[in-house]
Amino acid sequence: MRIHLGTAMLVLLPEQAFAHADGQAVSPDDLWHHWSTDPWVLVPLVVVSALYMRGVRNVWSRAGMGRGVSPAGVMLFAAGILCLLIALVSPLDALSGTLLTAHMVQHAILIAVAPPLLIASRPEAALTWSLSHSYRRGLGRSPFLRSLSRRMAFLAGPIPGAVLHGLALWLWHAPALFEVALRSELVHTAEHMAFFGTALLFWRGIAAALRSSSAAPAGIAAGFLTLLHGCFLSALITFSPRPLYVWYGESTMLWGLDPLADQQLAGLIMGAPLTLVYLLACLALAARLLTPARYSPATAGDPAS
């Protein structure tokens, strides 16, 4: 599974129009020979990482090391990029065409591991400072970007983000569309852009709610809603009496699993770890809601406060 920048250019590459269409199953013996060197994956990750590090260097050279961008933020960003490399470059990507279990591990990384790490790193400052002063100034004055920012701010709210993310989860796990995504690189791209993009929106809304007690109730509702429907989707996959995704056929036998057992394990992987992540987010938001407002000297002498 891959995240591609420049999706439209794939239309010009018909020979690459199939993600796993060669039907070549990955066995345990040759797993480590299946690293991805796809430039559509590697180049965007390298470019974003280089811009981030350039921005960190610029901020620290002006404000001092550790200021503006925290060392912890740098480590979180690096961890997020590493998770994307594991999901999209490591042999896990190729194995996702052989085992539904591997496919669900990949989805879990793209949905509930890499996005919260990247959002928690708060990369905006570093990425902004990777640009030249004149370019930053021009972007800040752009009416189009200001309008787009306002619209995205709404979509990144806890509830809208959770709704979009939930729609993406259910739509792309429908067996018919899931099968198409395994066969077509264009649909494959759309699937993971939807997963990763809506996950970024969802976790950005959760992060914003963590910073504001007034937004915490909406964050709790969004997290709990996602937890509930995620558990339900996981249960449908786990307890189905027959294989839902016919693509995998008997390829799972290479790993000692029949198709139904592979599907059951995949459903459990979707359910248990993701439920824990969403539950921890809800608990953190509940703690934020119950935390009393900090004492402010500016309002200490105000009779109305």
Give the DSSP letter string of 247-293. Answer: GGTTGGGGGT--HHHHHHHHHHHHHHHHHHHHHHHHHHHHHHHHSPP
Mean pLDDT of the chain: 83
Q: Do 96 and 103 meet the contact criterion of CB atoms below 8 Å apart? A: yes
8 confidence band (pLDDT: 50, 70, 90): very low
* Structure tokens, 26: 């990955």
Tens-digit pLDDT profile for residues 40-85:
889 999 999 999 999 999 999 988 888 889 999 999 999 999 999 9
Q: Worst-scoring range by mean pLDDT, 134-138, 154-158, 266-270?
A: 134-138
Tens-digit pLDDT profile for residues 286-305:
988 887 655 444 444 443 33
Parse the chain into domains and list their residue ranges: 25-132+148-291
Proportion of the chain above pLDDT 90, given as a percent: 50
User: Residue ranges of the alpha helices (H) in 156-258?
Assistant: 158-172, 175-183, 185-210, 216-238
Tens-digit pLDDT profile for residues 192-220:
889 999 999 999 999 999 988 888 899 99
How many angstroms separate the CA atoms of 35 and 183, rounded? 19
Nearest to 116 by CA among 44, 181, 203: 203
140 confidence band (pLDDT: 50, 70, 90): low
The CA-atom distances, in angstroms, between 265 and each of 72, 106, 179, 200 are: 34, 14, 19, 26
Helices 216-238 and 259-290: crossing angle in degrees, nearest 10, is: 170
Tens-digit pLDDT profile for residues 176-198:
999 998 888 788 878 988 999 99
Proportion of the chain above pLDDT 70, given as a percent: 82
Helices 216-238 and 158-172: crossing angle in degrees, nearest 10, is: 10
